[in-house]
Each structure stands twice: as structure tokens, then as C-alpha cells.
Amino acid sequence: MSNQSYRDSQFLDGLSGEELFSMQIGLTYRDFLVLPGFIDFNPSDVELETRLTKKIKLKRPFVSSPMDTVTESAMAIAQALMGGIGIIHYNNSVEEQVAEVSKVKRFENGFISDPVVLGPKNTIHDLDRIKETLGFTGIPITADGTRNSKLVGIVTNRDIDFERDRSIPVEKVMTTEVITGKAGITLKEANDIIKKEKIGKLPIIDKDGKLVSLVSRSDLKKNKEFPDSSKDENKRLRCGAAVSTLPESRDRVAALYEAGVDVIIIDSAQGNSIYQIEMLQFIKSNFKNLEVIGGNVVTRGQAENLIGAGADGLRIGMGPGSICITQDTMAVGRAQATAVYQTAAHAAKHDVPVIADGGISNIGDIANALAIGASACMMGFMFAGTSEAPGEYFYENGIRLKKYRGMASIEAMKAGGDKRYFNEGQKVKVAQGVSGSVVDRGSILNFIPYLSLGLRLSFQDMGFRSVQDLHQGLRQGKLRFERRSESAQAQGSVHSLYSYSAPSLRAE
């Protein structure tokens, strides 16, 4: 019997997706299991490429949420390097959000157009602080300590490593005979200089000796180190940004478009509104090459309205997040697995991908979301504790933590998060989210490979080699499911032990 015959066996246990979700009860990812398929391939054979929107493809089905404790430029850069995408939050001014997007879009160009610089009177201590907060050294020194002024030197690790007095001005230790490139040279020419001179940083100056940009040796390695990077047609890292449905967001979209943003997410807790439909139509009419994701929605009717208005993708979820209390507070929403399946099944008829947003706390949740029709998963909790997430680490009871808050928490609404809840300007604010903290998970650059390998192993157990194959199996009824009782859920987790050590999600 051939492998294909094994896979097409008539002995099908369990339920099809349609049968599972035809039950008149809302299901979460924990309420069912995917039954195992036939294995005739290795985990390395699994292809995780997927679609974010009709036109945008990703190498990994991971999207970081537009929350102010999750995604700014550092997160978006790391996500794109690893094959996913980050969505910059809008709890900021238009100028601040545009600056964050611009940092991502410029990152892989090779030329760093906004390098960190210091002046001659800055101290070695200032360099130490930059290294601690930003993780790099090799700082150009300009005459007045600002960009676009005359380059007078550069300070690298070898200049300061053995200096005990960290209060020494950098002018006493900096290298003044700096190897530079002239403005207008190509990236290849800059790379050749770096290789020939064996230097880490190459400042680019204009005819007056003013600093224009910087090329870093570490950036030259990125194409080799990150072959699955999410890039646009100009080889720049992809980046998304969130906007509200308020009139001011029209100017925000225009500014983000000029900055090169790849996709706009219209960020509403309940996306089935005239405000969002009008915003969708405005964006699609005025920025024809800009992809737009609508949401959040949880029903087929909601999905139909936004697809009809021009949405290139949909964001699914209302209340399932770990810091979201919408379902308790508003008594409105839907169990997340049911929401994903029903909206994905309807959106597939229009060739519109959906993003499962919320309720994901481990690899199994990601696998289940993809198995029931999602093309990608948006995560806040999973990425909030990483080193690339905004905010500083702090310790509590000896545990290293970072702050994490819902965009409907009182804290976030005061900063502007209420724009997504149609209650802006209200003196009395009703919280639909909470603030908390999450454990340090290390760097995204280590965490994503862990998630990717786990997902490949899950696909192997299911018997499918790609997201596309998985969705085809779902539609054809070959992917089989089974409901889990509460007892089965308990038995499927750790149990009956005197004690045990739980695996850590920290990326070492």
C-alpha cells in the first residue's frame, strides 16, 4: 500500500472541522485535539510559509500585536528578520509612529541613516549606557554631538575596554583618523571597504565632512544569517502599523504610507462598524497598493461586511487574550476557536486570509489555530516578555519580569488605547483589559526558532507538510478532530506527580 493510500484510508476517526464546529457551543483551542495523521516526512520538510494578506507572504506565521508593551521598531525588526512581521502600535503621535516604521524600513538597506552619535564632551559612561540599553558600540563622534554635523572621530570597544575611569571624555580616547566612505557610494562599495580595512563601522560623510549615514559590518551578515526575512520588493524589511477609525487616522495613514509601511491594521475591538467600513474604503481608494487588514471580527456576517469594503485580510478575536476582560465586562464576544473556524471558512470563499488574534499561550495553540483555518497568529502575551518588547525589565520575588498591559486597561487608555473602543474623550472609562507582568523570555531571535521547530513537529504529527496542505485537508475533511472533556484536558496535561520541573519559554 502506498503512502498516499495510507493517508486516504477510509477508516476515519473523529470529526471533520465542519462537524466539530457545527455544535452549538463555543470552543477554545483547549476543547479539541487534532487526530494524528500519517508520517512520511521529516520536520525539516515542513514549510511554514503563509499569507498575511492577499498579496503579502510570510515565511513564518507569526505576527506581533500592536500593543504598546509589545511592538515598536525593535520587535518589528526582529520579527521581520525571523520571517514574521510586527505591527507598530498607535499609542503615540503620528511622528513617533512614523519614526518607528522608518527604523524598520531602513534597517536592511545597509545604510543606517539615523545612527546613534555622541559629542567630544560625552563620557565613556555614556557609551556604557548605550551598550547596555541598545546592545552595541562603535559610536561616531560629531562636532556638536548631533547627526548631520562634522565627523571628528569614532569610539569602539578597543578604545575603552581597559579604561578604569569611565568619566573620561570620549575626545581623549576616540580614534580621530577615521576610515570613511563618501556620500553617494553604493552599498557594495561600502561593504568592500569594510572587508578590505577589517573595520566594524564605516561612517559615510558628505563633501563638507558631515556625517550622513553609517554602515555596520554586523548588518552585512544579516542576509546570510536571516535567509527567511520578510522583505518587500525593494529588499527592505516588512513592517505593519495600526490605526484607529478616527478622522485623524486618515492623516496618520498618509504619513505611514510615505514612510513605506507595508500593511495597515485598522485596530478596533469590534470591527463591524460604519466607521471601519468608511476607513477601509478611504484607504483602498487613496492608497491603491497598500494592504489593509480589518477587524476585529468573530462572525461570518462581520467578516462579509469588511471583505465587501475591501479588506485584504481579517483579524479574528474578541476577548480571548490573557489581559482582555471584554467577554466578562461587555458580555459580548465569541470563543476563539469557533470564531477562527467560522470566519476563516467564510473568508476563504473570497480568498482572504485571517489572523487568529488572542488566546495563544503555547505552540499547541498556534498549531490548532492554523489547523482550523488561520493563516497566521497574532500574539501579545507570547512576545511581551522578550528583550525586543518595549519597556525595562524589573525583578519581583527574584523573577525577572516585564510589564504587559491590555490596550483597554486603564493605563493604556490614558495613553491613547481607548481609540479602538469607541469611547475616546469620555471622562469615565470602562476597562476591558488589565495590566500585569510577564516573565523574561530572552530574545525573539532565539524564541522564534523554538516556536518554529515545535510547529514543524506538530505538523508532522498531523501528517501535513505546509499550511496550505493543512487548510486543504481541513476543507476536504481529511484533517480530523475530537472534542476533549474536562477530564481529558486534565489528563493531557502534567498530572499525578509529586513534583516536577516545568519547561521554560525563556529563549536561552
Which residue type does 436 have? Answer: G
d(CA 139, CA 123) in angstroms, rounded, equals 12
310 is in an annotated binding site: no
357 is in an annotated binding site: yes
47 is in an annotated binding site: no
Task: Catalogue the active-site residues.
Answer: 324, 420
138 is in an annotated binding site: no
317 is in an annotated binding site: yes
CB atoms within 10 A of CB 289: 7
461 is in an annotated binding site: no
**Grid cell at residue 219:** 548588518
24 is in an annotated binding site: no
**Grid cell at residue 265:** 491594521
CB atoms within 10 A of CB 333: 22
Pick from 391, 370, 393, 262: nearest CA to 316:
370
Q: Are 263 and 53 in contact (CB under 8 A)?
A: yes
153 is in an annotated binding site: no
9 is in an annotated binding site: no
462 is in an annotated binding site: no
**Omega of the bond prior to 296 within 30 degrees of 0, cis?**
yes
d(CA 118, CA 105) in angstroms, rounded, equals 24
318 is in an annotated binding site: yes
Alpha helices in 47-89 (DSSP H): 73-81
**Grid cell at residue 21:** 464546529
Q: Are 7 and 468 in contact (CB under 8 A)?
A: no
93 is in an annotated binding site: no
44 is in an annotated binding site: no
Instruction: Name the DSSP class of 239.
Output: -
269 is in an annotated binding site: yes
**Grid cell at residue 223:** 542576509
Residue 436's beta-bridge partner residues?
Answer: 404
Pick from 143, 136, 138: nearest CA to 120:
143
Binding residues for NAD(+): 267-269, 317-319
Binding residues: 267-269, 317-319, 321-322, 324, 357-359, 380-381, 404-408, 432, 486-487
Binding residues for IMP: 322, 357-359, 380-381, 404-408, 432
Binding residues for K(+): 319, 321, 324, 486-487
